[in-house]
């Protein structure tokens, strides 16, 4: 099983190395976490990797999501916000035919 290559990259480094980063995104296992002031702001993936996500989540992508979730929650705990509102996901009803 190919190993996901996750790399944290700052906005200045991304600006400086954009052509090289875009070339590396040809690898469907490449992932970049864009940080601004050491805080994760976005995940960069290639077009093929995005299409694969739309088709179904891989184990590597679930692991990345868990790691990013923990990192973001850790940063939020260090910088508490006023009121956190929990958004409920819409639930679809099953309709019999």
Tens-place pLDDT, residues 24-71: 999 988 999 999 998 899 999 998 888 777 777 777 777 777 777 787
Would you state the pLDDT for residue 87? Answer: 36
Say if residue 31 is exposed, middle or buried (CB neighbours under 10 Å; 0-12, 13-18, 19+): buried
What CATH homologous superfamily does 5-78 map to? YefM-like domain (3.40.1620.10)
Distance CA 30, CA 60 (A): 11
Q: Where are the domains of the chain?
A: 5-78
Say what the pTM is.
Answer: 0.58
The conformation of residue 66, written as its DSSP 8-state character, comes to: H
């Amino acid at each position: 099983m190919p190993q996901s290559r996750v790399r944290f990259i700052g906005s200045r480094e991304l600006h400086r190395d954009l052509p090289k980063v875009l070339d590396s995104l040809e690898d469907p296992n490449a992932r970049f976490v864009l940080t601004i002031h050491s805080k994760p702001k976005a995940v960069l993936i290639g077009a093929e990797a995005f299409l694969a996500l739309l088709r179904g989540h891989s184990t590597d992508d679930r692991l990345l999501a868990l790691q990013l979730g923990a990192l973001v929650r850790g940063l939020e705990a260090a910088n508490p916000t006023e009121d956190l509102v929990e958004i409920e996901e819409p639930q679809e009803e099953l309709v019999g035919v």
